[in-house]
Amino acid sequence: MIRTALFMLGIMTVITGLLYPLAMTGLAQLFFPYQADGSLILEDGKVKGSRLLGQSFEAPEYFWSRPSATTPRPYNAASSAGSNLGPLNPDLKKTIEDRRLALQAADPGNTSQIPIDLVTASGSGLDPHISPEAARYQVARVARHRGISVPAVQKLVDSHVQSRQFGFLGEPVVNVTALNRALDDHVKSRQSN
């Protein structure tokens, strides 16, 4: 019985620990190479990020991402984590208030209600998306700092809204990295004309 058990352990280890992962990796590389390689964003042959991971944008001419709670720096993919602070925790309340004040200081003329995803971190701390409302909240500030019309920036936002997966899963979102790259491209094309 022990010999049979050890034989099965060896067989299953080879199948589930070697053959299956190799087969899945090969199929992923064959049919979905961009996704299998991490959905990397390349610019001039250099990796500038991933469409799957949030990035820090702090300059006022960019759309700002959802805050990150990772340590020791924001959007640290090696330290994915939420803040784990409960809704009654005074540290969470202070953090949200500080973020609210920073948003108001960056755009003092904006009296709209601040979307919740601009002041709270996601569970992973690496979410690359914000809600369409969070992107629209930032349109006037970005337009002003870029010297672009508000309708032109709004059009960029609208073109980057991703609808629900399969039409019913999740909520519409905007990938901040993709939106900011499109914004840079828009400005470059205007300057070259």
Condensed to tens digits (0 to 9), the pLDDT of residues 90-142 reads 999 999 999 999 999 999 999 999 999 999 988 888 889 999 999 999 999 99
pLDDT beyond 80 at 81: no
Q: What percentage of the chain reaches a pLDDT higher than 90? A: 66
Closest by CA to 160, choosing from 147, 171, 150, 173, is 173
pLDDT score recorded for residue 172: 96
Tokens for 138? 């930032």
Closest by CA to 135, choosing from 115, 149, 150, is 115
What's the pLDDT band for 73 if we cut at 50, 70, 90?
Answer: confident
| Contact criterion met (CB below 8 Å) for 103 and 117 | no
What's the pLDDT band for 77 if we cut at 50, 70, 90?
Answer: confident
What is the model's pTM?
Answer: 0.80
Rounded distance between C-alpha atoms, residue 171 and residue 157, angstroms = 16
pLDDT beyond 90 at 32: yes
Rounded distance between C-alpha atoms, residue 33 and residue 27, angstroms = 9
pLDDT score recorded for residue 169: 92
What's the pLDDT band for 54 if we cut at 50, 70, 90?
Answer: confident
Element of type H or E holding 173: strand 173-175
> What is the identity of the amino acid at 133?
E
pLDDT score recorded for residue 50: 85
pLDDT score recorded for residue 152: 95
| Contact criterion met (CB below 8 Å) for 140 and 111 | no
What's the pLDDT band for 85 if we cut at 50, 70, 90?
Answer: confident
Per-residue pLDDT, averaged over 14-42, amounts to 93
